[in-house]
Structure 1
Amino acid sequence: MYGIALFSGAMFVIESRRVDPLCAYDTGREGCFTGGQVIITFIAVQLSALSIGQIGPSIGIVAGARAAAADVFGVIDAKPVVDINDDNPKLFRGSAPTSTEVSSGLPITFKDVTFAYPSRSEEPVLRGFSLDVAAGERVGIVGTSGSGKSTLVLLAMRAYELNTSKSGSVTVDGVDTRQWHVQSLRKQLGLVQQEPILFGLSIAENIALGVADRLASEVTRAEIEAAAKKANAHEFILDAARRERVVQHALDTMTKEDAATTLVIAHRLSTLANMNRIVVMERVIIAFVNSWRFALVLMSVYPLLILGGIFEFKSYAGIEKLGNKKLEDASTVLSESISASRTVAAFGLQPRSTTMYREALRSLRSKEAWAIFSVAFGQSFERAVLQCTYGIAFLVGARFIREGFLTFSQLLNTFLAVTLSAEQMGRITASAPDLAKASNAAEKIIKLIDSGEASPIDPLSEAGLVCGQSGSTGGSSGLRIEFRRVSFAYPSRPNVPVLSNFSFVIEAGQYVGVVGASGSGKSTLALLIGRVYDVDEGAVLVDGIDVREWNVRALRSLIGLVQQEPALFADSIAYNIGYGTPSAEKPVEGQGVLPLETGGSEGMATDAAEAGASLHNNTSAVGEGKVSPQTSDQTKSTSPAEGKPRSKAKKAVVAQAVEMTFAPPPDEIVNAAKMANAATFIDTFPATYATFCGTRGSQLSGGQKQRVAIARALYRAPAILLLDEATAALDTKSEAVVQEALDRIIEEGRRTKPGETAKPTRTTVCIAHRLSTLKSADRIVVLEKGILAEDGTHDQLMSMPSGKYRALAMAQGAAMSATA
């Protein structure tokens, strides 16, 4: 560009003087060209071209933003079926309850209710369901997974609308829920879910959220403490086993005062003993060389250019840090409100969540105003200095030419050198936003790196003993576990000891139960066995070797773990069962995955699952990978909720699913599923083991997730099996079958291998709150505040009149032996 411009400019000057020789003396004559005109024209074209070029990248961004905005505005403009902002004065509002007492319970009536989730409108969850719950009555609801228990709560709080006028009615206080003002209705309800949600606030603020029409600052400390005490949550620090009590305080208060109408949905039938009634449901992002004088003049301006660049960079970095922090706050409020939408709706917190999000954005906007001003000033300052450099260059250059210090050629060369260097400086400063982001990211990484030495627990390290070394038998048999004078406190709470001088031995093949109150250190034992943490004092030995000497991966490969809250991955059921095996990262190669979609708390399937139903009904098409002629009719469904044909994308999903052929899973996976009583429900899915579990298992019910987790642990054939409330989320029928399977597995673990002496196949540690599951344990350990309080068999512990185990068993109403 520079070559063409200067060459053509020189030719125009020469040609004009050849045509009109007087141009050499009078440059103002018509048709005369001068060097100044060439330079001015060149700079004007250059700057305009650069400016126009900078617009180009923004076009794509604007287009992308418009496309994204279309989706967002589509959601914003969509009118919800259940509108919480509907202030129609004709809607019934009832009487708002106070935070301290409930004036009276309200009757709830389900009359001939037929309901199906929008995502599976063809499969009703409830069919002609009727139930009258009197004011103040306590009704327990039980049933198998998928029978529609949680659906009753969703309909009562009007989270969903009944499909048609012929779908029956749900009335609260004698008024159809469709005639209630939504916020007023939900203020009458207190909800405690199976997986309680706590927000990123203090415990006091979380409890205060139970009063939707009052700010947290308006709820007194005394009211909060009173609620915490009633929920048995006043004396402890929050942990995983205690979250539910914090959320449950409102319901506890109402039920204990015997004033509120209460619906209790439970798998554990012992919690329903005090109910008035129980309902059972069934599945429905060079100058000095040319002219040192001229170059010195121009270089005197360079510090200003550098200063402008630094100022711009700093301002970008400042706004980036501010934006990250404030956007993080706003994003936290938004994400919590969306992920806990049911909790927000149940407590009528939509206005409060909206206000909190608006305040976070308002704070971001007000604090960013000065930052944006500083960025604009920095950019303007840098651009002004650059343009002043051009002015100084031509002014001083013209004077130097007139005084004989500089020729026109030298001016051009020096000017170009300065211009090009200034251009590069401009490019550097233009990179300030990206550099600012990189600087902030690097700051966080360096802070993390400098925070301390690498963790001694490194699962990627090859150091340490593996199976068969130094006398370790490894996975060939059950392993002996020993806690030797162990003291431990979590790094986040170093001053709160969890275990204190704890010593205990679990012989190979033994089945040992661990019980104790919340916070006594039960789950900590499992974490120390798997070396998730290292002890502060003492040692944990597995197979006679300190776990700190084991290779971390080798040690954990010997352990099967079933946690209280199972974590499943967004993949097929077969992948989740076979996950973590040493033999393969993905145990079922080429296995198709049929996705499902959440349709409510019961784990509803989507249109793709409907396609799977076509597979199920068309066995010949599945077996041969073909589609029968009737398939096109089956896939042409219409959504009753919308009355419109399904989109092309959904039809494509259905067609693709119908054409899919699923490879059978390995026998080991099937056997593990059968042992965990998971095969019964897996086989009911159209894609069976290829069924998509969803994010964190969201497409399965709580009981189904737990059974898949148990099957995953059994598939590993572990030498140590750790059960942390393994059957907590199962209904009574499923629990009995799974417990029977676990008992059989535990019994097999006690047996010695053929031809080997005293080498049982598996050691089992069961952490439980439900003591009835531990009756067959070889030994039961009772923990109290990190100390071994009692140790013995069930019968031995029950024979202690003032024993802690006996007290726990009596409190639970568990079946006792004759000595009880």
Structure 2
Amino acid sequence: MNLYSKYFNKYKIPFGIAVFCVASEAICDLLGPTLMSNIINTGIEQGSLSKVYYWGMLMLIVTAIGAVFAVTRNILASKVSQRMGADLRYDLFEKIVYFSELSTDKIESGSLITRMTNDTAQVILFVNGIMRIFLKAPITCIGSIVLATLLNFRLSLIIYGVVAIVSILIIISMKLSYPRFYELQKAMDKVNSVVQEYLIGVRLVKAFGTYDKESSKFENANTNLMEKGISSQSVITFVSPLITLTVGIGTIIVISAGSSLFSANLANPGDISAFVIYMAQILTSLIMITNIFNTFVRTKASTARIKEIVDCDGDFSHDGEMKELNGNIEFRDVTFAYPNGSGVPALNNLSFSIRSGQSLAIIGPTGSGKSTIAWLLLRFYDVNKGKILIDGYDVKELNVDSVRNSIAIVPQKPMLFSGSVAENIRWGKREASNVMVHEASEKAQAGFVNNMKDGYESMLGSAGVNLSGGQKQRISIARGILRDSSVIILDDATSALDSVTEAKVRENLGSKTSNQTVITITQRCGTAMFADRILVMDNGSKVGYGTHDELMQSCEVYRDIYKTQIESSKEV
């Protein structure tokens, strides 16, 4: 498993100590039957009590030493496996943080959660097992076979036959188990996704009363998980008893053959007793080895899923040139279609420019490509054709951090986090003082915060569930204002605000002393008409660009929007 090599290298010293302890413990266990054989052969049979005490005391000492090794490797196994698990989870999270948009679309969030929790837990279990019992089982098994052979070669032939049959059963178990365990993990993904979707849309479910539909979706996913679980365990259910039966039959044959050899003076009682114990140890080891391989199969399936995350494309290079950007923006013949989409361009030969300090409104019907402009500007995706320039620099040649540090975006659906109001606003600039937070809130018309029980220290639930839509939007706008970047994009960010509040927010943004470029994506003509320039989009193409008055003269799409929204409202 090359994926985990760096973790094993990091903890190679405690891992090596654990391996030494496991090997030493196994040797101590293997000495037990031989010492017991000596007790019987040299002590009991010969009537020598001193020999019984001698070999018995030696057996106790060996057992105590083995116990010390067992405790040591258990402690090391727990610490190392948990630390490796923590490192793996951190690395996976860091990878997810820098996912490209294409990678984000590739693996759904429910599956990512399963992979970071259930799959990594399986890896932790496997590593812990390696250090505790996985290495002990083959050492004990091989050692028992070797020592049994040294005791009596004739009886050892029975063991060889038993091990050969069990090996075939283990190979069959592995081949049948792997695809079943992989499907089991996928079924678990589906259950997580269904639960996550319900929790995200719980209010909508309640509003539409679609409880039965959601329960049915969960029942189907849960039943599928149950069936996959039964299928994956069925192989083990059949194979394990067969292994026990095989070793049991082998033990009976050993006792029967040993009796015959004893009658022929070819074996003594101590050897036969030791042989039976070695057979018991071999049985225990083979069962452990079977469990090892089953755990390995599950870990292999989990590793394949973890590797899918590791192999996903990361975000664009952060190694480009860092620049202080002022917000002069130009789209030059930009064409773009979403990867793995329909193939129809979301933007088609789009060209426009806006100078730093100006305001631009982007308006058009739903699906006309308005938000796509924002995603490309933030370089969530790269254009298929053309160029996007900021201050004359192609965004592809700039460090992606310098591009995004110069742009603040306020999305249509505000994303708030559990924590205080101040923490959510300060998310736009961590080092911001309380005064700066309050000023940004005032400009965003978020004065309602002062009336909350604990003011700016009032705690918000996950996604701001204890706020109204308009309140969440205003906190989100305050966050964007606090960032104080060269460009601010309002992606339909005032849709939940009344016209008076929206006008005040727009006025505060326009009155900023800095030369901030303000881009407003909207479907409201009443919002767009106050911008310095208006870009009218339709089906991914620019159908108009200019001031409100210019577009009323030259752009039919804009006139239709104006007549539908403004003139019709006046008539009412």
Common fold by TM > 0.5: yes
- Cα deviation, 1:698-749, whole Å, max 9, x if unaligned, reads 122111111111111111110111111121111344323323222323xx34
Q: Closer, same or farther in 2 for the Cα pair 1:788/1:341, shift >3 Å?
A: closer
- Cα deviation, 1:296-335, whole Å, max 9, x if unaligned, reads 3311221222233344445554553444344444554455
Q: Is 1:672–2:440 an aligned residue pair?
A: yes
- In structure 2, the residue matched to 1:701 is 468
For 1:336 and 1:456, how far apart are their aligned partners in 2? 26
- In structure 1, the residue matched to 2:301 is 440
Q: Closer, same or farther in 2 for the Cα pair 1:507/1:360, shift >3 Å?
A: closer
- Cα deviation, 1:398-440, whole Å, max 9, x if unaligned, reads 4344445555555566665555454333223224554343222
- In structure 2, the residue matched to 1:721 is 488
Residue 816 of structure 1: CA displacement? 11
Identity %: 28
- In structure 2, the residue matched to 1:556 is 404
For 2:465 and 2:412, how far apart are their aligned partners in 1? 16
For 2:392 and 2:566, how far apart are their aligned partners in 1? 39
Q: Closer, same or farther in 2 for the Cα pair 1:357/1:529, shift >3 Å?
A: closer
Residue 544 of structure 1: CA displacement? 1.1
- In structure 1, the residue matched to 2:185 is 324
For 2:232 and 2:483, how far apart are their aligned partners in 1? 56
Q: How many residues align?
A: 446
Q: For 1:106-185, what aligned pairs fall within 5 Å after superposition? A: none
For 2:235 and 2:565, how far apart are their aligned partners in 1? 66
For 1:529 and 1:503, how far apart are their aligned partners in 2? 13
- Structure 1 window deviating more from structure 2 (346-355 vs 780-789): it is 346-355
- In structure 1, the residue matched to 2:257 is 396
For 2:379 and 2:458, how far apart are their aligned partners in 1? 33
For 2:237 and 2:465, how far apart are their aligned partners in 1? 47
Stretches of structure 2 that go unaligned for 5 or more consecutive residues are 1-28, 49-120, 122-145
8 Å contact 1:727–1:739 — kept in the other structure? no
Q: Closer, same or farther in 2 for the Cα pair 1:455/1:359, shift >3 Å?
A: closer
Q: Is 1:464–2:320 an aligned residue pair?
A: yes
8 Å contact 2:184–2:232 — kept in the other structure? no
For 2:265 and 2:409, how far apart are their aligned partners in 1? 89
- In structure 2, the residue matched to 1:570 is 418
For 1:289 and 1:17, how far apart are their aligned partners in 2? 21
For 1:351 and 1:713, how far apart are their aligned partners in 2? 40
Structure with bigger helix share is 2
- In structure 1, the residue matched to 2:519 is 765
Q: Is 1:299–2:160 an aligned residue pair?
A: yes
For 1:356 and 1:493, how far apart are their aligned partners in 2? 26
TM-score (norm: length of structure 2): 0.69
8 Å contact 2:320–2:400 — kept in the other structure? yes
- In structure 1, the residue matched to 2:248 is 387
Residue 368 of structure 1: CA displacement? 5.5
Question: Paired residue for 2:551, among 786, 793, 797?
Answer: 797
8 Å contact 2:180–2:228 — kept in the other structure? no
Question: Paired residue for 1:737, among 472, 490, 504?
Answer: 504
Q: Closer, same or farther in 2 for the Cα pair 1:337/1:531, shift >3 Å?
A: closer
Q: Is 1:683–2:459 an aligned residue pair?
A: no
- In structure 2, the residue matched to 1:806 is 559
- In structure 1, the residue matched to 2:79 is none
- In structure 2, the residue matched to 1:374 is 235
- Structure 1 window deviating more from structure 2 (403-412 vs 708-717): it is 403-412
For 2:365 and 2:204, how far apart are their aligned partners in 1? 28
Q: Closer, same or farther in 2 for the Cα pair 1:578/1:355, shift >3 Å?
A: closer
For 1:675 and 1:764, how far apart are their aligned partners in 2? 14
- In structure 2, the residue matched to 1:485 is 333
Q: For 1:82-101, what aligned pairs fall within 5 Å after superposition? A: none
SS of the residue aligned with 1:569?
A: coil
TM-score (norm: length of structure 1): 0.50
Residue 534 of structure 1: CA displacement? 0.6
Question: Paired residue for 2:355, among 507, 510, 526?
Answer: 507
Stretches of structure 1 that go unaligned for 5 or more consecutive residues are 21-284, 468-473, 589-664, 750-760
For 1:308 and 1:301, how far apart are their aligned partners in 2? 11
Q: Closer, same or farther in 2 for the Cα pair 1:370/1:498, shift >3 Å?
A: closer
8 Å contact 2:33–2:277 — kept in the other structure? no
Provide the alpha-carbon RMSD of the alignment.
3.4
For 2:320 and 2:341, how far apart are their aligned partners in 1? 29
SS of the residue aligned with 1:683?
A: helix
8 Å contact 2:37–2:271 — kept in the other structure? no
Q: Closer, same or farther in 2 for the Cα pair 1:433/1:707, shift >3 Å?
A: farther
- In structure 1, the residue matched to 2:345 is 497
For 1:550 and 1:499, how far apart are their aligned partners in 2? 22
Question: Paired residue for 1:538, among 386, 394, 403?
Answer: 386
- Cα deviation, 1:352-385, whole Å, max 9, x if unaligned, reads 4434444544555566555544332122112222
- Cα deviation, 1:528-582, whole Å, max 9, x if unaligned, reads 111110111111111111111111112211111111111111122111112153x
SS of the residue aligned with 1:799?
A: helix
8 Å contact 1:315–1:375 — kept in the other structure? no
- In structure 2, the residue matched to 1:226 is none
> Which structure is richer in relative contact order (CA contacts within 8 A, separation 6 or more)?
2
The AA in structure 2 aligned to 1:743 is G
